[in-house]
Amino acid sequence: MKVVVLGGSGFLGSHVSDALTEAGHEVLIFDIKHSPYLRPGQQMVVGDILDERAVEDSVQGASVVYNFAGIADIAEASQRPIDSVKFNILGNSIVLEACRKAGVKRFVFASSLYVYSKAGSFYRSTKQACELLIENYHEVFGLSYTILRYGSLYGPRADKKNAIYNFVKQAIASGKIIRHGDGEELREYIHVLDAAKGSCEILSDEFANQYVILTGQQQMRIKDLLIMINEMLDNKVTVEFAPANESYHYEITPFSFAPRVGKRLTGKTYLDLGQGILDIIYSVYREVNPFPIVNGIVLNDSMQAVDGQAPQKIS
């Protein structure tokens, strides 16, 4: 079936697009940026989510539409409230309207655990507004939906907005990690490949018109995560805790606000956090130093880290 992924050139959307293609769907990616991860068979439309005509044309004939497009960074949303409202709320409303007109069977939205929290500023409020608008489209027009509330993601293709990538990059580039917060904050990390798998599984009927929580089973304090990264880097990293912006991030749990309760979707197997971080260390080494020494081996041009994976010899 035809599946449209808005924001499919980004970190999470590109992995979900891959998983959908692997499941045999016809994937069309709509994004303001061309996807560097486009696979054979995937179609690409470069366009703005605020362009009603372009969005309508793209969702024509689609059975399922995912929306990952918009401002995905809490700090950026906090600094750009009007753009956050435009891209996250108006943009999502334009997609909903196009889905209704095209008779789309399921609309899937990328929400966040921050909807439960008092933290998260405009990022959180735009996600809450979108969830309510999606419910209205269901009540008034019968548009079927699944709302995915993701936890803390990590893994290949992440950029500097991503906490784990950011810690590893700081550690490797400068030997020092500065964390805004006291490190006591608790997070449930989920590897992006596990999140992408779960994001496809929810297409079954049991998840129609449901809220689904997609977080990892690996709960960890940020302080312990930083100790883990430091140990993997031979204890050569200095960690400094700086004052936090309390309106941005939650401490122990996001669950303080009470929107509709979500079902938690956990896979039978999942990718291990330690192994996942090691993969990120390898790929950041390659970014920072073209000939890094890893485990005593000098990597040269005949070795490469493939899409965040451990270095592999290429023939």
Ligand X SMILES: NC(=O)c1ccc[n+]([C@@H]2O[C@H](COP(=O)([O-])OP(=O)(O)OC[C@H]3O[C@@H](n4cnc5c(N)ncnc54)[C@H](O)[C@@H]3O)[C@@H](O)[C@H]2O)c1
- How far apart are CB 72 and ligand X at their closest, in Å? 3
- Between CA 70 and CA 297, with CA 277 as vertex, the angle to 5 degrees is 130
Q: What is 147-214 written as a DSSP string? A: EEEE-EEESTT--TTSHHHHHHHHHHHHSEEEEES-S--EEEEEEHHHHHHHHHHTTSGGGTTEEEEE
What's the closest the beta carbon of residue 306 comes to ligand X, in angstroms? 20
For 57-93, the three-class secondary structure string (H helix, E strand, C coil) is: HHHCCCCEEEECCCCCCHHHHHHCHHHHHHHHHHHHH
Length of the chain measured in residues:
315
Among 3, 4, 5, 11, binds ligand X (CB under 6 A): 11
Least distance in angstroms from the C-beta of 30 to ligand X:
7
| Least gap, CB of 294 to ligand X (angstroms) | 26
Give the binding range for ligand X (CB under 6 A) out of 36-44, 139-147, 150-158, 260-268: 150-158
- Min CB(311)–ligand X separation in Å: 25
Interface with ligand X (CB under 6 A), residue from 3, 4, 5, 10? 10
Q: Are the C-beta atoms of 251 and 184 separated by less than 8 Å?
A: yes
Task: Please report whether residue 262 would count as binding ligand X according to CB under 6 A.
Answer: no
What gap in Å lies between CA 185 and CA 219, rounded to an integer?
Answer: 10
Which one of residues 31, 185, 188, 194 is an interface residue with ligand X (CB under 6 A)? 31
Q: Give residue number: closest CB to ligand X.
A: 10
> What's the chain's Rg over C-alpha atoms?
20
Q: Are strands 303-305 and 311-313 parallel, antiparallel or unpaired?
A: antiparallel
Could you tell me the smallest distance in angstroms from the CB atom of residue 15 to ligand X? 8
CB 113 within 8 Å of CB 140: no
Q: Binding segment for ligand X among 27-35, 169-177, 202-210, 242-250 (CB under 6 A)?
A: 27-35
CB of 6 to ligand X, least distance (A): 6
Closer Cβ to ligand X, 128 or 152, answer by number:
152
**Which one-letter DSSP state was computed for residue 306?**
-
Handedness of CA 268, 274, 276, 277 (dihedral sign): positive
The least CB distance from residue 214 to ligand X, in Å, is: 9
Q: Which one among 5, 7, 65, 286 touches ligand X, defined by CB under 6 A?
A: 7
Of residues 33 and 176, the one with the C-beta less far from ligand X:
33
274-279: long-range contacts, CB 8 A cutoff, minimum separation 24: 274/228, 274/232, 276/154, 276/155, 276/191, 277/154, 277/164, 277/168, 277/228, 277/229, 277/232, 278/232, 278/310, 279/155, 279/156, 279/308, 279/309, 279/310
Q: Does 68 bind ligand X (CB under 6 A)?
A: yes
Smallest gap from Cβ 152 to ligand X, in A, equals 6
Nearer to ligand X, 159 or 231 (CB): 159
- If one asks whether residue 153 binds ligand X (CB under 6 A), the answer comes out as yes
Give the integer Cα–Cα distance in Å for 159 and 62: 30
Q: Is 89 in the site for ligand X (CB under 6 A)?
A: no
CB nearer to ligand X: give 83 or 135: 83
From CA 260, how far away is CA 242, in angstroms rounded?
35
Contact range with ligand X by CB under 6 A, out of 3-11, 166-174, 244-252, 260-268: 3-11
**Closer residue to ligand X (CB): 49 or 212:** 49
Does residue 37 touch ligand X according to CB under 6 A? no
Interface residue list for ligand X (CB under 6 A) = 7, 9-13, 31-33, 48-50, 68-70, 72, 87, 91, 110, 112, 150, 152-153
